């Protein structure tokens, strides 16, 4: 893919003339014909992708409303000793921190992010080790995935998602000449992913590892890795995931429960969460029972405000709400790939791969979360990006969107003859 785009980009430097090359470039980017020395962007619509920001804000606002709706009843639960607005206040605090982090990410040039990529990856690895240290890492429901920081809990796997996008993009750019060579082009990344997998499975967090593998493998594929090599690697990874699931009795039980979650022997056991989720979608019908009217959130559906918030959306807002959320995520992922393609056309390979990596991350994680809630996929603990309750997840996703908007901003500046 990058090879084809580079052949297009080589014409910009050829002897066909500046007007012809700039015309083809802007036609490819979908912005029409524009001279290279055009004025710098002034309005907000020219400086950055306002529709992209509006879609992200829409998902965040849906998340704020649904987190409050799904968590308000937890004040009456014996599991929690909190007020009705406890989770809403914490979510809003995390959102404030996330917006600051996203603005900071947007203000830093991509060239700086590229230089920092290896160091950020090392910091992410260090956090994954620290969370496993007894007395430091916080355990919840048998998993040790959080580092308490007083006002919030930091989840290292969420930090690693940002680091993985940047590191994989930087690795692909540096190893561009060896993408068809296993030893030099893939083996180093395979060793890194093996280390990541070991640390994440010790938590355990198979879902986060799956997302990180999807990000890194997707970026390598987009970077031009050999097709046969990629197919072989994908088959090996699939085999490894199946082995991990089969060798873990409780994961294996989840798979069997997924096949028929509402069977008498499963409905009150491993299939309880999925069966209850399916009931909530059935109750929602076309337009839902109304905001705040969910029944399954009344201590019937575990983790209704985090992993299964999509089920609450289905019950309260119905098929209309479900389709709205799905379309917003589809548009967001699609736009990320379009921004990445524009960057590659401008011969900004690292920036293009970062944008597409963010699209892969949000697309894969939202698909898995919605697939789990609707019974399309086996139960796996992954939040719905921008919507579910969870401070670290919200902060990492908003930061990733800041990076995406930065790529788009630099594209627009360069296409108008400016300097990023």
Q: How confident is the model at residue 134 (pLDDT cuts 50, 70, 90)?
A: confident
Query: Are 94 and 152 in contact, with CB atoms under 8 Å apart?
Result: yes
Phi-psi region of 83 (alpha: psi -120 to 50; beta: other; left: phi over 0): beta
**Cα(339)–Cα(358) distance, integer angstroms:** 11
Q: In what order do the strands lie in the sheet with 153-154?
A: 138-140, 143-148, 153-154
**pLDDT given at position 129:** 92
Contacts of 142 (CB under 8 A, 6+ apart): none
**Cα(308)–Cα(33) distance, integer angstroms:** 47
**Cα(33)–Cα(238) distance, integer angstroms:** 46
**pLDDT given at position 239:** 82
* 139: β partners: 144
**Cα(305)–Cα(71) distance, integer angstroms:** 6
Are β-strands 153-154 and 143-148 bridged in parallel, bridged antiparallel, or unpaired? antiparallel
Is residue 8's pLDDT more than 50?
A: no
CA-to-CA separations, 71 to 98, 262, 348, in angstroms, rounded: 21, 25, 44
Query: Are 9 and 346 in contact, with CB atoms under 8 Å apart?
Result: yes
DSSP single-letter state for residue 151: S
Q: How confident is the model at residue 420 (pLDDT cuts 50, 70, 90)?
A: low
Q: Which of 92-96, 128-132, 228-232 has the lowest mean pLDDT?
A: 228-232
CA gyration radius, the chain: 22
pLDDT tens per residue across span 326-383: 999 999 999 999 999 999 999 999 999 999 999 999 999 999 999 999 988 888 778 9
Average pLDDT over residues 180-207: 81
Q: Which two tokens stand for residue 89?
A: 């206040």
Query: Are 314 and 297 in contact, with CB atoms under 8 Å apart?
Result: no
pLDDT tens per residue across span 51-81: 999 999 999 999 999 999 998 888 777 677 7
Query: Are 196 and 210 in contact, with CB atoms under 8 Å apart?
Result: no
**Cα(354)–Cα(409) distance, integer angstroms:** 14
**Helix ranges restricted to H, 176-248:** 187-201, 206-222, 227-246
Reference 157, options 215, 219, 97, 200; nearest CA is 200
**pLDDT given at position 46:** 65
Average pLDDT over residues 165-172: 93
**pLDDT given at position 304:** 87
pLDDT tens per residue across span 30-57: 333 333 334 445 555 567 789 999 999 9
Average pLDDT over residues 99-124: 95
Angle between helices 156-174 and 110-130 (to 10 degrees): 130
Is residue 109's pLDDT more than 80?
A: yes
CA atoms 195, 198, 201, 202: torsion sign: negative
Query: Are 412 and 47 in contact, with CB atoms under 8 Å apart?
Result: yes
**Cα(182)–Cα(346) distance, integer angstroms:** 28
Is residue 12's pLDDT more than 50?
A: no
Reference 218, options 236, 196, 233, 240; nearest CA is 233
> Model-level pTM greater than 0.95?
no
Average pLDDT over residues 393-407: 96
């Amino acid at each position: 893919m990058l090879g084809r785009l580079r052949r297009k980009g080589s014409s910009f430097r050829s002897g066909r003339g500046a007007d012809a090359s700039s015309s083809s470039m802007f036609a490819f980017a979908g912005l029409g014909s524009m001279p290279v020395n055009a004025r710098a962007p002034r309005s907000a619509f020219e400086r950055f992708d306002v529709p992209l920001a509006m879609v992200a804000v829409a998902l965040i606002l849906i998340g704020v409303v649904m987190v409050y709706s799904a968590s308000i009843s937890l004040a009456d639960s014996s599991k929690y000793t909190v007020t009705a607005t406890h989770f809403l206040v914490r979510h809003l605090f995390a959102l404030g921190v996330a917006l600051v982090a996203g603005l900071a990410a947007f203000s830093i040039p991509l060239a700086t992010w590229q230089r920092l990529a290896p160091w950020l990856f090392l910091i992410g690895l260090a956090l994954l080790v620290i969370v496993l240290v007894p007395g430091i890492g916080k355990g919840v429901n048998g998993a040790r995935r959080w580092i308490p920081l007083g006002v919030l809990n930091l989840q290292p796997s969420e930090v690693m998602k940002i680091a993985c996008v940047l590191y994989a993009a930087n690795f692909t750019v540096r190893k561009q000449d060896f993408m068809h060579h296993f030893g030099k082009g893939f083996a180093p990344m395979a060793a890194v992913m093996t280390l990541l997998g070991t640390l994440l499975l010790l938590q355990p967090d198979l879902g986060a590892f799956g997302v990180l593998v999807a990000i890194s493998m997707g970026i390598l594929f987009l970077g031009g890795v050999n097709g046969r090599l990629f197919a072989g690697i994908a088959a090996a990874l699939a085999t490894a995931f199946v082995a991990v699931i089969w060798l873990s009795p409780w994961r294996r039980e989840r798979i069997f429960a997924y096949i028929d979650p509402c069977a008498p022997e499963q409905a009150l056991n491993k299939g309880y969460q999925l069966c209850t989720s399916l009931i909530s979608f059935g109750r929602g019908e076309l337009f839902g029972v109304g905001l705040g009217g969910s029944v399954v959130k009344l201590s019937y559906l575990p983790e209704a405000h985090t992993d299964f918030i999509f089920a609450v959306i289905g019950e309260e807002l119905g098929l209309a709400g479900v389709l709205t959320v799905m379309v917003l995520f589809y548009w967001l992922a699609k736009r990320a790939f379009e921004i990445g393609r524009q960057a590659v056309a401008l011969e900004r390979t690292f920036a293009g791969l970062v944008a597409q990596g963010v699209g892969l991350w949000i697309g894969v994680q939202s698909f898995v979360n919605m697939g789990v809630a609707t019974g399309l996929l086996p139960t796996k603990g992954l939040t719905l990006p921008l919507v579910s309750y969870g401070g670290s997840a919200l902060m990492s996703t908003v930061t990733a969107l800041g990076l995406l908007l930065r790529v788009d901003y630099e594209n627009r500046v360069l296409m108008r003859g400016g300097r990023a």
